[in-house]
Amino acid sequence: MAGIPPYILPMFEAFLRRLTATDPDPLSGDDCRLALAALLVRIARTDGEYARVEIDAIDNILKMRYNLGPFEVIKLRADAEQLETEAPDTVRFTRAIKDKVPLEDRAEVVEALWEIVLADGTRDHEEDALMRLVAPMLGINDRESAFARQRVVSKG
């Protein structure tokens, strides 16, 4: 896990073990936050450009969803950026989230992902492809994902 300070390494290793464990226990609140934040970072980085507008959108989602202050948001996003780099492939990562996060929260995750995809004003092919992969793996069908995207567009 190159690039991660040694004192943080045990935290990420423990998190990844919990995320990919075979036991059915749901993730704790803090772990759910980190998993969602890392998935948001992953979708933002998919097109090869991690734009300021996407970072700001991630910060806003985390702030609003978890009622965090600015320093808490920055720390959570920084942890998520590191975790996203070290997390397993998207399929395993997303399946692990599906297994640990309740369905109603996963629908909100898809809406948050669409917020990031649409944050820079363009729908990139790589981002669309990842959304077509991730939404069903989270248990959200194409129709529900389209409705989530429409809700984001109407808010914007």
Say what the pLDDT of residue 23 is.
59
Residue 6 in any domain: the answer is: no
Total count of domains within the chain = 1
Residue 127 in any domain: the answer is: yes
Residue 45 in any domain: the answer is: yes
In this prediction the pTM is 0.81
For each of the chain's 156 residues, which pLDDT tens digit applies? 445 455 444 555 666 666 666 654 555 666 778 888 999 999 999 988 899 999 999 999 999 989 999 999 999 999 999 888 877 678 777 876 787 778 888 888 899 999 999 998 888 899 999 999 999 999 999 999 999 999 999 987
Residue 139 in any domain: the answer is: yes
Residue 71 in any domain: the answer is: yes
Residue 89 in any domain: the answer is: yes
Listed as own residue / partner, the contacts of 50-54 with beta carbons closer than 8 Å and 24 or more positions apart are: 51/119, 51/120, 53/119, 53/120, 53/121, 54/116, 54/119, 54/120
Say what the pLDDT of residue 12 is.
55
Containing structural domain, residue 121: 28-155
Residue 23 in any domain: the answer is: no
Say what the pLDDT of residue 36 is.
86
Q: The domain spanning residue 142 has which CATH number?
A: 1.10.3680.10
User: Token digits for 19?
Assistant: 């995320």
Residue 84 in any domain: the answer is: yes
Distance CA 44, CA 61 (A): 13
